Structure 1
Amino acid sequence: MEHVRKLLPVLSNNLRKGSCGKIAVIGGSIEYTGAPFFAAISALRLGADLVHVMCAPEAAPVIKGFSPELIVHPGLEPESVIPKLERMDAIVLGPGLGRNPRLAPLFGNVLEFVKKTDVPLVMDADGLWFLCEAIREGVPPLPSAILTPNIVEFSRLCEAALGISDVLAIKEQDKLEDLASRLSSHLGTSLFVKGRVDIITNPDGKVTLGDDEGCPRRCGGQGDVSSGTLAMFLLWATRMSSSHDAKNAAGLACSQLVRHCAKLAYARVGRSMITSDLIDEIPGVLRELDSKKNKDCPSA
């Protein structure tokens, strides 16, 4: 868990609320309320001080009911969302957002905001669906962003950006890595391709692999945990370095943490494991890492 430990900020009495991160999760619709919750609560469990969820009005009461720890804002109008983002340190765009065409202006406004401010952005799920639509019209590079597709979403992105339509048929790991590198360079944006081996790529062509042991259970919501934790690691890594290496470090830490927690949850629960079981492992893992850090650095 060394990649995780390197990015965890040191806690002290000199910190104030917000010092370790204020995160925005943009997502949540009448059909999908679990995805934004999983992303938000994972960021909070990892160490965010405040997490705001900006969602469809119909989703707000449900998400509020999941946890009083989250700040939930009903409404996805750009004129309502964008001013709130000015107070955020990182953004997760897409979990449970839905694909209603009326959300396209919001998507465009968020990308414009990120391009202007360089705020760290993690784009997942329905955010990637809107990105595929936007690619055909031309999307500017987003150097502060990481896209987090699963293999199906990766296939859509490759078809939209590179005109390659047979990605799902590719079985060779090295070919997937090469394709991820090509896509990252083409878009000018980093990728975190989730799979049996997580592929982390930067526009400069560097490929890093997250291949720690995970678990065989593939319950829905694990990708949302990755989105929330990646946003936190990306924020902390960017504060240490603004280079592409920060995204490699964030991606490796996210892959390592989520895989380790999934492994622990599966060992405890077995095939009945659900995403909440994975999230429940985060506090214990962090407590153990903090204990080791204190032993290594008694003065910290």
Structure 2
Amino acid sequence: MHPPAGDKTYRALPAVRHLPYALYRADELRALDRAALDESDLTGADLMERAGQAAYRLIRSRWSSARSLTVLCGGGNNAGDGYVVARAAVGHGDQVRVLTLVDPARLRGDALAMAQVYRAAGGAIEPFAGLPQRTDLIVDALLGIGLARDLEGPWLAAVQAVNAHRAPVLALDVPSGLDADTGAMRGDAVRASATISFIGLKVGFFTGEGPERCGRIHFAGLEIPATTLARVLPSARRIDWRRVADRLGPRPRTAHKGTFGHVLIIGGAPGFSGAVRLAGEAALRAGAGLVSIATHPDHARCLNLTRPELMVHAVDTAADLAPLLERATVVAIGPGLGQGAWGRDLWLAVVSLPRPLIVDADALNLLAEAPAARADWVLTPHPGEAARLLGESTVQVQRDRPGAVSRLQRRYLGVVVLKGAGTLIDAGPPRPPAICSDGNPGLASGGTGDALTGIIAALVAQGLDPDEAASVGVCVHARAADVAARDGERGMLAGDLIARLRAVLDGQDRR
């Protein structure tokens, strides 16, 4: 049997049903591994056996008709897991080829023991010289969480060979070449159909290149007791709509429009009216009681023609903002603001305003020119804006997104939302940063970030604190995009997402 190439098709975000919410760095996982051994009668070989057997059970469940397996092994504990998988497959009567990049004689410890047990069970080990043309499944056991440098030589060639092959791929613990801490690729990384993670989920699975490279994520806790897990605090947490939905309770029957706050959105320089309009409509759909838009006189008259619920005000100078600011519960600034004299004046009028602020788009670029810090704002940069705020390159930001969002929060305070595949939210200590695991590539279109600004502003207006509003806002935004993507990701518009907000927020979407 030769599986169709479709089994390896790109998945922008991993499927993550019923997974833990704690996310760990590699050093934290090593500490958990040590704690598990210190606090029980378990040995490293026991954990390796459990990992390999869990991986083989997944193979039989997910690829039940697969009968020929190719297992790629390296030289560490990840290879030991691979040898357990290979032995289990031999015992099941599968055709197994183990291809190694490390001479088995150089193996040490538990990995050596597992290779010897595999050989004793009748298994053969061959040096890697390319992948067989036909195999039902490739098991990636080349490298684990300890990758410290970019791939090169035969390691890089092996990863590239896996990605060029048509067979599906199961990665053990982490796709080889993916940095488990940051989600960056170290030269290249295996593009897996599925990844089975042992003991704890890795931060890098859910941001950067991780969502593309991991495929569907499965988890095997290896029966580590909860008391052991509690000894190591995770460095990040995963969030999704399922996790945060209960932060929005039912609305009181005595509610009126003033109950749910008044959002003021400032933006829309000449020629850029669409962004502020999308933010305003998203704020309405996310439940704000009132939404006002302060925009340039050139298009104030027409901005709400098809959405009369938006209260639009022509603002020629910063002085025109004063009566609007007095009535606002929360202010969002940036969508379509521009960096000309008009936008700069409005930005200077609100940057020190004693109201919660949501800061996006060109307002972030103006902030980068004259940095300031305050505790009650939410900054929502995409990677390019984040780079300007940090004085770095976009490549540097994307190479370590968790590190970048933490640097932004330390510099500017408040809550920072670093948008992208695996959006991160950081409000500073004591809570660890959050990573949203919902969403899809349909979000990669103009206007979706403006919608997020409106959503977060509406949630602050309804009484959520900035951290809660950012977390709930990111998740409902991503979930609404997932609902909209049932009609297709390609060509999805910000308006399609906005149209699904009510169903998600009110619990009408049950699929």
TM-score (norm 1): 0.83
Match of 1:90 among 314, 317, 330: 330
Equivalent in the alignment of 2:461: 235
Instruction: Name the SS for the 1:53 alignment partner.
Output: strand
Please tell me whether the aligned partners of residues 359 and 379 of structure 2 are also in contact (alpha carbons under 8 angstroms).
Answer: yes
Using the alignment, how far apart are the partners of 1:183 and 1:43 within structure 2? 25
Cα offset, 1:86, TM superposition: 1.2
Match of 2:259 among 19, 23, 26: 19
Cα offset, 1:102, TM superposition: 3.9
Using the alignment, how far apart are the partners of 1:15 and 1:257 within structure 2? 22
Cα offset, 1:221, TM superposition: 0.5
Any stretches of 5+ residues in structure 1 without a counterpart?
160-164, 239-245, 292-300
Match of 1:196 among 417, 421, 425: 421
Match of 2:300 among 55, 60, 71: 60
Instruction: Name the SS for the 2:338 alignment partner.
Output: coil
Any stretches of 5+ residues in structure 2 without a counterpart?
1-240
Letter in structure 1 aligned against 2:369: E
Letter in structure 2 aligned against 1:51: V
Cα deviations by residue, 1:163-191 (Å, 9 ceiling, x for unpaired): xx23424544xx32122212211222321
Letter in structure 2 aligned against 1:123: V
Cα deviations by residue, 1:147-175 (Å, 9 ceiling, x for unpaired): 0000110011001xxxxx23424544xx3
Equivalent in the alignment of 2:134: none
Match of 1:75 among 315, 337, 340: 315
Cα offset, 1:205, TM superposition: 6.7
* Aligned sequence identity (%): 28
Please tell me whether the aligned partners of residues 199 and 207 of structure 1 are also in contact (alpha carbons under 8 angstroms).
Answer: no
Summarize the Cα distance change of 1:11–1:170 in structure 2 as closer, same or farther, 3 Å threshold.
closer
Match of 2:380 among 142, 148, 151: 148
Equivalent in the alignment of 2:56: none
Q: Does 1:168 align with 2:404?
A: no
What is the aligned length?
269
Cα offset, 1:279, TM superposition: 0.9
Equivalent in the alignment of 1:241: none
Equivalent in the alignment of 1:250: 469
Q: How well do the aligned residues superpose, as a CA RMSD in angstroms?
A: 2.1
Please tell me whether the aligned partners of residues 46 and 283 of structure 1 are also in contact (alpha carbons under 8 angstroms).
Answer: yes
Using the alignment, how far apart are the partners of 2:409 and 2:349 within structure 1? 22
Please tell me whether the aligned partners of residues 261 and 279 of structure 1 are also in contact (alpha carbons under 8 angstroms).
Answer: yes
Cα offset, 1:272, TM superposition: 2.4
Match of 2:364 among 103, 111, 128: 128
Please tell me whether the aligned partners of residues 181 and 206 of structure 1 are also in contact (alpha carbons under 8 angstroms).
Answer: no
Letter in structure 2 aligned against 1:250: A
Using the alignment, how far apart are the partners of 1:43 and 1:77 within structure 2? 24
Using the alignment, how far apart are the partners of 1:229 and 1:260 within structure 2? 13
Equivalent in the alignment of 2:507: 288
Summarize the Cα distance change of 1:272–1:176 in structure 2 as closer, same or farther, 3 Å threshold.
closer
Cα offset, 1:104, TM superposition: 2.1
Cα offset, 1:128, TM superposition: 0.7
Larger RCO (alpha carbons 8 Å, 6+ apart)? 1
Cα deviations by residue, 1:207-264 (Å, 9 ceiling, x for unpaired): 42232231212110000111011112233454xxxxxxx4332222111111111111
Instruction: Name the SS for the 2:255 alignment partner.
Output: coil
Using the alignment, how far apart are the partners of 2:394 and 2:492 within structure 1? 30
Instruction: Name the SS for the 2:336 alignment partner.
Output: coil
Cα offset, 1:197, TM superposition: 1.1
Using the alignment, how far apart are the partners of 1:62 and 1:269 within structure 2? 31
Cα deviations by residue, 1:90-135 (Å, 9 ceiling, x for unpaired): 111010111113432321121122xxx2x22100001111111222
Summarize the Cα distance change of 1:176–1:47 in structure 2 as closer, same or farther, 3 Å threshold.
same
Using the alignment, how far apart are the partners of 2:473 and 2:356 within structure 1? 15
Please tell me whether the aligned partners of residues 143 and 188 of structure 1 are also in contact (alpha carbons under 8 angstroms).
Answer: yes
Instruction: Name the SS for the 1:265 alignment partner.
Output: helix
- Which stretch of the first structure deviates more once superposed, 38-47 or 14-23? 14-23
Instruction: Name the SS for the 1:64 alignment partner.
Output: coil
Equivalent in the alignment of 1:42: 282
Equivalent in the alignment of 2:441: 216
Letter in structure 1 aligned against 2:374: L
Equivalent in the alignment of 1:182: 407
TM-score (norm 2): 0.50
Q: Report which of the two has the higher share of helix.
A: 1
